[in-house]
Structure 1
């Protein structure tokens, strides 16, 4: 019975955009955060966002009893809650990510419970990697199958001086378009720290995951993150750029959910992209780094800066592997010779935000 309800919960979660193979490590993670009754509620959760009365009818439960359970689950990051303009509160089931996984470590605690959770998440990610390793070994097929939830934004100061740069390509414009903000501890770096392999990036800010809109309201109201202003978000982005972190934002246009600032030593996406060359776990920006061989002196500053190991030295000059470059622009920010520039390589616009996505819930 227990195994069946967690399998059903996993199958329901896999109706969301981000899916996981239901290997034992994934089911073990679900068992660690959902008790059996909570798992039953999650398994029976209809797609979309619903008021408690509609959920009670669909699940054949008493409304007030279900409301109390949903509020408890929302406090634990197991369901997402959103207050509509009408004053009605609606609930939805978050995806594996961004959602359930990140919420377990976002508070930044370092007690025994959080250490245990970090180890379970690492075990789960290792189990998932083992299960899909065959796919990762076939990059072309992996690119067709894997639909990244995030896309990279180029460091704005390195964007080419052209009138055609679109608002969705500028990190400042992404922030400007939002009205509600929250800053949270990076789940990836927190997990790495609690499992004994802390981040290698010098001076990386701690609160580098920025949430927007109803997602920001939820993580603040439930104590997962701190309220931030637009100006504070820009300061975090500036500090992240100074440290060499990569801006990765929700891969749709308008009403973004999250903007992460990622490193190649802790971010599971970046780690996979370095380990399985050619696999795309985030969509690249529309810009790519180019090196002027006449100016490059082979100092190597850009090598350490690249979070996806797309740069190498060939004699006395740096060389960029274009198929691995994600167009973040961090290499250009540290080149003492100004030998690296960002050039447009694509015109791809992110798709409109799907109607079924509600904050962190679906």
Structure 2
């Protein structure tokens, strides 16, 4: 009986460890069931001790007491299942515990599996993510998000096209990538096991750079090239899918091709009214009502249901109206419109996007009150525990919250704070 109790404890501790991640993993009996399907007890006991920041296998062996050869075997097993990230750094293997998203949810469903009950997992993830809003509100709270919309370049008027920056162009993200991987869309694959998938293409998820290399090596993605990835992009545009990318300017890690019905980000907007779940592009819909015939194709195409048909005050005929507060600036409606009524115009204020992944994660950590976990994450080290408490107190103080409300000051504050913390996180 004690052995069973200890196993339960390991899974509960693993959930608590995952909840320290920036995107969170709130407790639910359903989530514990998911962990039990994915991690055997011995893996859970190790995983809950893996810091959220990279740690060497050697250091982890000392911390857990698991002999190095045995630990390497277990880490490799978890990495193949997509539960941890492992990589070489300075000739030594390092490991990071994968978050739920973007992390092991995607890695489980981005390929077909014969060693897991995918239908049971699909039902459990659906319950956890969508039967109440707790998980979604944990992920998508505050303003800095994991994903941002890319505008369709062809929807930009010629006079404004020069103002579309490289990191705003799906084509440029693909063409500048050193390595490209292609996988199944995790969201539509999950929906297929529930009998709820739409008829959009499935092999549409693109990953880039070192992340793609890692996923290809573990069989999560297939090695691709620019030509094939551009063909996938065109296929997805023709299918009415929106392009959602990693919310960074440099070294973009992924690009999803998303439908409004299956995508978890769009479902957060549509189901739970979390309007900022996706960072908008710097463009917004402009409709020429004189050309509009009220056909409703844009209404059907919009993944966030920003369009409606309203009777014109003069003619009394239905016209398409877009709620600019809801519009994510993806441009899917432009392709759907057969009358040439829609173009994308610049928003009054250009959308702020973090420079790189580290900047995005620090922004998210501060906004969500998790900076202490992100910077000082190893609870076995006394210095990290002490500094974590200090950071936690700082980030929750009223003066710091006021400071972070001012974007230019927030940037300077983050640079100073992170630079000062670096020596303690090595």
TM-score (norm 1): 0.89
Are residues 1:70 and 2:75 paired?
yes
**Aligned partner of 1:107 among 102, 108, 111:** 111
**Aligned partner of 2:50 among 45, 52, 70:** 45
**Greater shift after overlay, 308-317 or 274-283?**
274-283
Are residues 1:118 and 2:118 paired?
no
Partner of 1:321: 323
**Greater shift after overlay, 232-241 or 270-279?**
270-279
Supply the distance in 1 between the matched residues of 2:334 and 2:357 (Cα, whole angstroms).
Answer: 34
Relative distance call for 1:175 and 1:112 in structure 2 (3 A) is: closer
Supply the distance in 2 between the matched residues of 1:194 and 1:87 (Cα, whole angstroms).
Answer: 41
SS in 2 for 1:145: coil
Q: Which residues of 2 match residues 1-362 of structure 1 at below 5 A? A: 1-84=6-89, 86-109=90-113, 113-127=117-131, 129-131=132-134, 145=142, 147-161=144-158, 162=160, 163-199=162-198, 202=199, 204-277=200-273, 279-315=275-311, 316-345=318-347, 346-355=349-358
Segments of 4+ moved more than 6 angstroms: none
Tell me, yes or no, if the aligned pair for 1:278 and 1:323 is still in contact at 8 Å: no
Q: Return the structure number with greater relative CO, CA threshold 8 A, min gap 6.
A: 1
SS in 2 for 1:336: coil
Supply the distance in 2 between the matched residues of 1:253 and 1:59 (Cα, whole angstroms).
Answer: 38
Tell me, yes or no, if the aligned pair for 1:205 and 1:236 is still in contact at 8 Å: no
Supply the distance in 1 between the matched residues of 2:223 and 2:243 (Cα, whole angstroms).
Answer: 20
Alignment deviations for residues 211-231 of structure 1 (CA, whole Å, 9 cap, x no partner): 112221122111122111112
Q: Which runs of 5+ in 2 are unaligned?
A: 1-5, 312-317, 362-373, 375-426
Supply the distance in 1 between the matched residues of 2:102 and 2:257 (Cα, whole angstroms).
Answer: 14
Supply the distance in 2 between the matched residues of 1:150 and 1:357 (Cα, whole angstroms).
Answer: 10
SS in 1 for 2:164: coil
**Greater shift after overlay, 6-15 or 222-231?**
6-15
Tell me, yes or no, if the aligned pair for 1:48 and 1:92 is still in contact at 8 Å: yes
SS in 2 for 1:44: coil
Q: Which runs of 5+ in 1 are unaligned?
A: 137-141
RMSD: 2.3
TM-score (norm 2): 0.76
SS in 1 for 2:36: helix
Relative distance call for 1:58 and 1:245 in structure 2 (3 A) is: same
Tell me, yes or no, if the aligned pair for 1:210 and 1:259 is still in contact at 8 Å: yes
Alignment deviations for residues 66-125 of structure 1 (CA, whole Å, 9 cap, x no partner): 1111011111111112234x4433221111111111111111348872222222221221
Tell me, yes or no, if the aligned pair for 2:26 and 2:134 is still in contact at 8 Å: yes
Give the structure with the larger helix fraction. Answer: 2
**Greater shift after overlay, 56-65 or 179-188?**
56-65
Relative distance call for 1:228 and 1:143 in structure 2 (3 A) is: closer
C-alpha deviation, 1:187, in angstroms: 0.8
Supply the distance in 1 between the matched residues of 2:48 and 2:122 (Cα, whole angstroms).
Answer: 24
Residues matched between the structures, number: 348
C-alpha deviation, 1:320, in angstroms: 0.5
Tell me, yes or no, if the aligned pair for 2:280 and 2:351 is still in contact at 8 Å: no
**Greater shift after overlay, 4-13 or 182-191?**
4-13
Supply the distance in 2 between the matched residues of 1:132 and 1:89 (Cα, whole angstroms).
Answer: 32
C-alpha deviation, 1:330, in angstroms: 0.9
Tell me, yes or no, if the aligned pair for 1:183 and 1:211 is still in contact at 8 Å: yes
Tell me, yes or no, if the aligned pair for 2:247 and 2:354 is still in contact at 8 Å: yes
